Amino acid sequence: MKEITELNFPENVRYAESHEWVKATGETAKLGITDYAQDQLGDIVFVELPDVGESFEKGAEFGTVESVKAVSELYMPVSGEIIAINDALEDAPELVNNTPFSDGWMIEVKLDNSSELDALLDKDAYLSTLKG
C-alpha cells in the first residue's frame, strides 16, 4: 500500500466518507472509488454495477468491487438514476486501480437533488478523515 502522499486526490471532485468520489457536471455526475480505496483493496478483479435505468437513494448499495483481498460494497454518495455504466470495467476491472478518476469511473447518474453534493467532502476534508 502507498503512503497517502503518494495517492491522487483531485480538487474537482467531491468525496464520500465511504470512499466514493463524485464529479458533477450540471444535472449529471460520474462516480467511482477513490485512489485511496483502490489502493487499500489491492488488485481489482471484478466490478458489479447496476443496470441503466435503476434509481438509488443516497447511502444505498449500488454494486460491489471484488479484489484479490476482499469484496467491498459500493454506496451511493448522492441520489439518482443510473444513466450510464462503464462497460470497459467488465473486461478491464484493473482500470479502477490504474486510473480511478478517469478511465476507472463506474457509473453516471442523473442527480435527483444536486444539493446533496454540498454534504460531500472536498479534498482537504477527505484527507483529514483519512489521516484520522
Per residue of the chain (132 residues), give pLDDT as tens. 999 999 999 999 999 999 999 999 999 999 999 999 999 999 999 999 999 999 999 999 999 999 999 999 999 999 999 999 999 999 999 999 999 999 999 999 999 999 999 999 999 999 999 998
Determine phi and psi for 89, rounding to 5 degrees: -70, -20
CATH T-level assignment (fold) for domain 4-113+123-131? OB fold (Dihydrolipoamide Acetyltransferase, E2P) (2.40.50)
pLDDT computed for residue 12 by the predictor? 97
Mark out the alpha helices in 20-132 (DSSP H runs): 35-41, 88-91, 95-98, 123-131
Beta strands in 1-132, from DSSP E residues, in sequence order: 14-15, 20-25, 28-33, 44-48, 55-56, 61-67, 71-75, 80-85, 107-111
List Cα–Cα distances, 27 to 16, 31, 75, 111, in angstroms: 19, 13, 20, 6
CA 51, chain centre distance (Å): 16
Residue 31: phi, psi to the nearest 5?
-135, 155
Name the grid cell of 112.
Answer: 435527483
- Residue 11 has which C-alpha cell? 480538487
